[in-house]
């Protein structure tokens, strides 16, 4: 989409970095058994949710390139889905930092796939707590989140809560 201002694109990059930071917090140090935790007959397991997040990030990339393509992937093992999460974030961020025009507005990319991915990160956090593996709360306002830092190597929490 021609005419996208740098500030809108930069804000979307910061949102993507926030997704990486928050996602990294809930994915880190999860034992292999967590991947298959099922709290109800019709609920998704953490690995199924994580695979869906990967699908959302792939969809965001496609929408940004002007392709309306959705894929329901079959979940892989936990470590592979964690790697896919960060790889998909990096691919999307690389597109956002490039000079390539976006075929969808940053607002639409945020309100659809990216906001949905943030919701699902929250579901994984809830499942960690329900599974007896809680992630400590944090003052995310103080978190060291930097546009472009979208890999598994994130800053340590600055202010956690009990």
Handedness of CA 62, 68, 74, 78 (dihedral sign): positive
40-57: pLDDT as tens digits: 999 999 999 999 999 999
CB 124, CB 60: distance < 8 Å: no
Burial of 152 (0-12, 13-18, 19+ CB in 10 A): middle
User: Does the pTM of the predicted model rise above 0.95?
Assistant: no
Fold of 6-133: 1.20.120
Percentage with pLDDT > 70 across the chain: 96
pLDDT value of residue 102: 96
């Amino acid at each position: 989409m021609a005419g996208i201002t740098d500030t809108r694109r930069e804000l979307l990059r910061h949102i993507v970095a926030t997704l990486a930071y928050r996602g990294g917090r809930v994915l880190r140090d999860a034992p292999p058994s967590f991947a298959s935790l099922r709290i109800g007959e019709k609920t998704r397991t953490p690995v199924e949710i994580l695979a869906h997040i990967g699908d959302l990030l792939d969809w965001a990339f496609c929408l940004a390139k002007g392709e309306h393509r959705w894929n329901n992937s079959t979940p892989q093992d936990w470590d592979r889905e964690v790697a896919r999460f960060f790889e998909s974030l990096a691919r999307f961020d690389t597109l956002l930092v490039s000079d390539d025009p976006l075929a969808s507005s940053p607002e639409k990319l945020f309100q659809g796939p990216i906001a949905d991915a943030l919701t699902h990160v929250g579901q994984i956090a809830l499942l960690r707590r329900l599974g007896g593996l809680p992630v400590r709360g944090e003052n995310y306002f103080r978190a060291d989140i930097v546009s472009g830092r979208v890999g598994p190597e994130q800053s340590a929490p600055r202010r956690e809560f009990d």
